[in-house]
Amino acid sequence: MASRFTPVWLTLAAGALAAAASGQPRPVAPAPTAVEPDGRALFERYCFECHSEGARRGGFALDTLLADRADRPRWEKVWKTVRHEFMPPAAADQPTDAERRTIARWVERSVFGADPARPDPGRVTIRRLNRMEYQYTVRDLFGIDLDVAGELPPDDTAFGFDNIGDALTVSPALLDTYLALAEKVAATALVTDGPRHPRTQLKPADFRAKALPKGTTRAEQAASVELKHAGRYRVEVQYGVGGWQEFGGEYDIAVSLGGKAVGAKRTISVGGNRTYTAAAEVELAKGAHELVVATDPVGKGRPLPVSPRVTVTGPLGSDVFEYPESHARVFDRGPAPADAAARRDYARAVLGKLAGRAFRRPVEPATLDRLVSLALAGPTFEAGVGRAATAVLCSPRFLYRAELQPRPDDPREVQPLDDFALASRLSYLLWLSLPDDELTRVAAAGKLRAELGPQVRRMLADPKSARFFEDFGGQWLRTRNALYAPVTFRDREWIDPLRPLMKEETDRLFEHVARSDRDLTELLTADYTFLNDRLATHYGIAGVTGGEFRRVPLPADGRRAGVLTHASVLLGTSNPNRTSPVKRGLFVLENLLGREVPPPPPNIAPLDDPKAGAAEPKTLREQLEAHRAKASCAACHAHFDPLGLALENFDTTGRWRDRDAGGPVDPRTALTTGVKVAGAADLARALAARKDVFYRCVTEKLLTYALGRGLDPADAPVVDRIAAEVAAGGGKFSVLLAGVTTSPQFQLRRGDAGESPRLARPPIDIRRPPAHKSEVKKP
């Protein structure tokens, strides 16, 4: 995915500049030693009325719990409830923000032993590459654009992301899939039967939609093919018409290259997931040719774009032969020599480079010896190297992001990551792929920490960083939900073509705010967005023409502002047949305010469908008020219902509405903070006004994504420090990224055995340079 913006060399803000320049992980500064209210005293003031002396509401007797600080699971619930503002109940006397911080800090230190002077980086479960990481790693390793992610099962998610180590399990069936994919990748990247006629391959992203007269039902997709030689070429076109086109229908489809038909026109039936192919030989001149895939409905129907994948091979029957770039990347010294000793040396050089890149660190001599033996036992040198490459792709060192422990004598010890592991963490954070040659070179020299700031800026300037903005933003802001959110059957035909456009709008806004280093709260309050003509028409915004996305100012009527009014968010947080203030409010709480909502009590009845039943159905507002009248529901619903009700002027697909269920929509509501809002724009401003909460939420999300694990109370001092730096730096993404990548959590690791070192070990000197690669021993 190429970057859609000119890369901006982000400037690290003053609070993170020194650490980023040195690359050293920063200890969290100890809190001031001024006298603070004791945590127990604040618990007594705000909590004991319901949770002491026999009162055990919610199963908590705090006076008993205070005497038993070993019950860490219960204490974690207390910590989250206080930090996330779910207690005391909304109608009760509330602690100030400062008092909440004091209570949370007291629990972090007195119960969990969090010590800002001795940060605990936590334990990260060894992580398997998820689907997208596998796809991009294979692409960058061999230089091939092979859709391997589509052959892997969806990854489980935890803590809002699909790269969490504890959730990335492996089944026997998945191992079989990895073996089959390894063989497919090796066969695609490497040529075992000598050079072949040149091949040009096109993927769906290479095609553009051709402009046709308004109202036409014909669709044309075009891409350019550059031929270096005149002659006869074989053209193979594969296209899919599955996905969301379950409505059916027949279409005539025709393919042409350079104005010449590729096979005869054919009629296809749409429905379910189907793939069709067309192939023919065409005589073509040297130069650029346009390849066009055109579809026409048979009878009535809407335009139907397909997803073409094209291979053009030739000139056939000529003496023009070559190895593909992926093959030359591996066999970078040309054909294998005939001498046996020279062949062994060549195999060692080829496989040492390939395995070193695939394993993200130099390969051990014993492992390399086995790979060389496997290669030399093949029927040909190239076929043998292909077998060895398959073995590399099946190795746990490739499939897992292993971080070797520099000193395995004491697994409880907190140690800096070696430079290779740090390079891997950095590259999978920003590129979802393995380190490139430059990053590997710096890591091999043991200079990555010293050059961390420049390397981060270089990586952000690389087009591959667009993967991060799509992946992290797509999961944090849940824009992917727009692609799959269920809708009523009658709405599918017109909504389905808009789904990817909805997602792209939000992805582009996030990337723009981050790359331009604007205040991250602009995601909430932006008075502009990114649209093309079709999405603008959906919103009722005039003056946008053409299929290309561009920055568009929002109308001055004040109806829209930021991501809360994007169709991707509104569709993904709706039910198929109506809006859902509960889902929308939960989205705001969890993804913009960083609140972890407790699970609902069992056997809670769902809301009635406001469009079914009585002749005069209740409004959603009335139903939610009735729901909150139940004591078991009120404690949580008081927090998220008002947030969702403020968005009720938008229907399930993000269009504005003034009426619903036969009556006017009333978006006026009051938040638990006492702030009154009258619609989405008001809500966005209210959320942005609590910058400290929003910055802390974004920090938690990015740190979770970067580490591949959920956060716990021991991480709170680091989160609070980074969030404070972001606030001091004007809310810039560069400050956030610098804070995360220079944090102890990102640069250190704790062993996998023994109790937490923060409870038993002296502070470590995190300024000490990590073990060089030559000092790393295999565990």
Using one digit for the tens of pLDDT, what is the confidence trace for 396-409?
Answer: 999 999 887 656 55
Using one digit for the tens of pLDDT, what is the confidence trace for 493-528?
Answer: 788 889 999 999 999 999 999 999 999 999 999 999
Chain CA centroid to CA 549, Å? 21
Helix, strand, coil percentages for the chain (3-state, nearest 5): 45, 15, 45
- Inter-CA distances, 67 with 48, 71, 432, Å: 14, 10, 46
Confidence of residue 453 (pLDDT cuts 50, 70, 90): very high
Higher-scoring residue by pLDDT: 197, 673: 197
Q: Give the DSSP H/E element, type plus range, for residue 83.
A: helix 72-83
Stretch 627-656: mean pLDDT: 76
- Inter-CA distances, 428 with 423, 471, 555, 772, Å: 9, 11, 39, 21
Contact 349, 333 (CB under 8 A): yes
Q: What percent of the chain has pLDDT over 90?
A: 51
C-alpha span between 425 and 746 (Å, rounded): 8
| pLDDT for residue 733 | 97
Judged by DSSP in three states, 450 sits in coil
| pLDDT for residue 194 | 79
| pLDDT for residue 271 | 64
Phi, psi of 600 (to 5 degrees): -70, 155
Helical segments of 619-690, H only: 620-628, 631-645, 680-689
Average pLDDT of the chain to the nearest whole number: 83
Stretch 454-468: mean pLDDT: 97
C-alpha span between 776 and 103 (Å, rounded): 42
Non-local (6+) Cβ contacts of 183 within 8 A are 390
C-alpha span between 708 and 668 (Å, rounded): 39
| pLDDT for residue 84 | 76
**Position 605 pLDDT exceeds 80:** no
| pLDDT for residue 134 | 97
- Domain coordinates in residue numbering, the chain: 39-110, 199-313, 469-599+615-690
- Tokens for 343? 């062949």
What is the SS3 assignment for 189-251? HCCCCCCECCEEEECHHHCEECCCCCCCCCEEEEEEEEECCCEEEEEEEEEECCCCCCCCCEE
- Inter-CA distances, 473 with 141, 560, 723, Å: 25, 20, 18
| pLDDT for residue 755 | 43
Chain length of the chain? 779
Non-local (6+) Cβ contacts of 345 within 8 A are none
Stretch 18-32: mean pLDDT: 49
**Position 411 pLDDT exceeds 60:** no
User: 199-313, which class in CATH?
Assistant: mainly beta
C-alpha span between 400 and 497 (Å, rounded): 37
Higher-scoring residue by pLDDT: 81, 142: 142
What is the longest distance spanned by two Cα atoms in the chain? 92
Q: Which pTM was predicted?
A: 0.84
